[in-house]
Amino acid sequence: MLTRVLPSFGSRRSWRVFERNFMVYRTQWLMLVSGFFEPLFYLLSIGIGLNRLVGTIDVGGRPISYAAFVAPGMLATSMMNGAVIDSIFNTFFRLRISHAYDAVLSTPLDVTDVALGEVWWALARAAVYSASFLVCMTLLGDTVSAWVILCWPAALVVSLAFSSLGLAATTYIRSWQDFDLVSLVQLPIFLFSATFFPISVYPRWLGALVAASPLYQAATLMRGLGLGQFSWVMIPRLAYLVALGAVGLTIAARRFRRILVP
């Protein structure tokens, strides 16, 4: 599905947008460092704090440490947060404040190159951060299966889904005030997506709502891969995330065009 959506627009010139973001990132080393430390903070706080309190947890008839239970979900959360910062905040700035994209469009690049370039960038960023997360996770002893390596490609899919949705959402944001709305959506997704505890703790009606959350699907998928517990349900979960990504990207490309070249 991705391969059907992506090549239908954009060209190799989209790499220039990637290059541009890299240039900006190099000057913002603090952001780079914070992105690296974020997973470490997550894992340490859980490992040292909650792990003692909660002890082991039963997943699929097998007791595992709470840290090992929660770490894959944290990875999914970290992918979401990274996508929000990059796809929403930074893109909004270039789209509405500095009008940097307008300048790019007076060069040989076109709108689809810009949208695609941002996707490449989001993927590369996710690849680096999820890898560093998985390394930290392993070093801290929060892995229980070698299958955890599959969390890496899965993290890219998760990141793509959130980045695409983020790009699409950004095009509807008019002012900095609207970012409160972003938090209003992001926070409940973060808190209620069963990343900290199994979905079975919710009453059934709420459970159905939670199941629609992309973060829940992402976290559950990651947990299954991380624990090496495979099931056919992973396929619709993956398909759901890919579909959200494709829808987000399609909307984003259309809205970018409307805003940038009316």
Partner 1 sequence: MSETILEAHGLVKRFGDFEAVRGIDVSIARGESFGFLGPNGAGKTSTMRMISAVSAPTSGSIRIFGLDPTTDGPAVRSRLGVVPQEDNLELELSVRLNLEMFGRYFDLPRRVIRERTRELLAFAQLSERAEDRVDDLSGGMKRRLTIARALINQPELLILDEPTTGLDPQARHLLWDRLYRLKRDGVTLIVTTHYMDEAEQLCDRLVVMDHGRIVAEGAPRALIEQHSSREVVELRFSTDSHEEFLDVLAPFAPRVEALPDRALLYVDDGDATLHDIHASGLTPASALVRRSSLEDVFLRLTGRTLVD
Q: Residue 62: beta bridge partners?
A: 59
Using the rule CB under 8 A, is 24 a contact of partner 1? yes
- Binder of partner 1 out of 23, 30, 53, 212 (CB under 8 A): 23
Q: Binding marks (x or -) toward partner 1, 105..124, rule CB under 8 A?
A: xxxxxx--------------
- Binder of partner 1 out of 103, 149, 209, 233 (CB under 8 A): 103
Alpha helices in the chain (DSSP H): 2-5, 14-27, 29-44, 51-54, 66-83, 91-92, 100-104, 111-139, 151-170, 179-192, 204-212, 214-227, 234-260
Amino acid identity at 151:
C
Between residues 108 and 141, which has the closer beta carbon with respect to partner 1? 108
Is residue 164 within 8 Å of residue 243, measured between CB atoms? no
> How far from chain centre, in Å, is Cα 221?
13
Using the rule CB under 8 A, is 203 a contact of partner 1? no
Using the rule CB under 8 A, is 70 a contact of partner 1? no
Contact region with partner 1 (CB under 8 A), list: 20-28, 80-88, 124-132, 237-245: 20-28
Between residues 16 and 254, which has the closer beta carbon with respect to partner 1? 16
- Binder of partner 1 out of 28, 45, 56, 231 (CB under 8 A): 28
Between residues 10 and 39, which has the closer beta carbon with respect to partner 1? 10
First to last CA, the chain: 29
